[in-house]
Amino acid sequence: MFVPTGETPPSFKSYTFILPAVSVGNVGQLATDLIISTLQLPKVGYFHTDALIPMVGNNPYATSAENANELSTNAEVYSSKELKLAVLQIRAPILQTKTKEFRKSIVSWMKSSGFSKTVLLSSSHAYQRDDQQLQGTPLRFLLSPTLQEGASARIKELGWREMEKVCAFPGISDSEKKLYIPGGGVTRALYNDCCNEDVPMAVLLTFCSEGDNIPDAFALANYLNDWLHLLSTPAEASPQWNAPASWKLLFGSGIPPAIF
């Protein structure tokens, strides 16, 4: 459930809502970090739920000593009135037994907030690609039926590739096709929920493997920016994203000198 930081709950009517899926390589979450950190979005509330594993830390987007020690929780909402943008950052895994409740609470909140559209940033296992998917860009999109009308023209202009459906029974080419997003966490289920409930949702995902996923995060953030223009960029140049302070020491502490 959404709990505002201030006395008055903010209004998100007609805002664009961006959220990550906890998926392979944590790419969606890393891309969301880039968005919040670069646009310096203020925190407007918490998504307080028993569906996520608890964690806290101090401010991952600290810009000075004064704001460095503000407490951050496992799911927080950031927003910009000027950009009409709301972003939910999820920092912990979803409990296996509570994925259905989590999806339900997210969809319910999306509907009651009146977002004009939702963008889910996600990823999928690169090793599960078929022969066709190995060629070309690893970036894919999906649009729920309600968003088709509003967004498909622009998506077509950008020349994006829609996420391919796979055969329900591999090897039998004339079997029914279904959506399969291995390593995508709740992506497929949340997308299906939004299709069924007429929620305008776009899924932007990239194929990747676990490892140093920072380049994947930048690629996904650029992909999103090509569509939504969150950052104004001069022609032919890449957007300048700011990595947050929390991206230090991603692969462990300093090396003990005693081992040499």
Compute the least distance from the CB of residue 244 to other proteins, in Å.
Answer: 9
The bridge status of strand 117-125 relative to strand 201-208 is parallel
The site map against other proteins for 56-85 (x = CB under 8 A) is xxx-x-x-----xxxx-xx-----------
Selected from 172, 235, 237, 255, the binder of other proteins by CB under 8 A is: 255
Looking at the Cβ atoms of 22 and 110, the one nearer to other proteins is: 22
The reply to whether 246 sits near other proteins by the rule CB under 8 A is yes
Neighbouring-strand partners of residue 78: 43, 87
Compute the least distance from the CB of residue 238 to other proteins, in Å.
Answer: 25
The reply to whether 10 sits near other proteins by the rule CB under 8 A is no
Q: Is the distance from CB of 91 to CB of 74 less than 8 angstroms?
A: yes
Selected from 9, 42, 127, 168, the binder of other proteins by CB under 8 A is: 127
Looking at the Cβ atoms of 60 and 239, the one nearer to other proteins is: 60
The reply to whether 180 sits near other proteins by the rule CB under 8 A is yes
Q: Give, in order, the Cα–Cα distances in Å from 132 to each of 138, 161, 184, 197.
A: 11, 12, 19, 32
Q: Give, in order, the Cα–Cα distances in Å from 227 to each of 151, 154, 155, 160, 189.
A: 9, 8, 7, 10, 24
CA dihedral 157, 145, 109, 40 (to 10 degrees): -10
The site map against other proteins for 214-243 (x = CB under 8 A) is ------------------------------
Q: How many CB atoms lie within 10 A of CB 13?
A: 10
Token pair 């003990």 is found at 256
Q: Which residues bind other proteins (CB under 8 A)?
A: 3, 22-26, 46, 48, 50, 53-58, 60, 62, 68-71, 73-74, 93, 95-100, 125, 127, 180-185, 188-189, 209-210, 245-250, 252-258
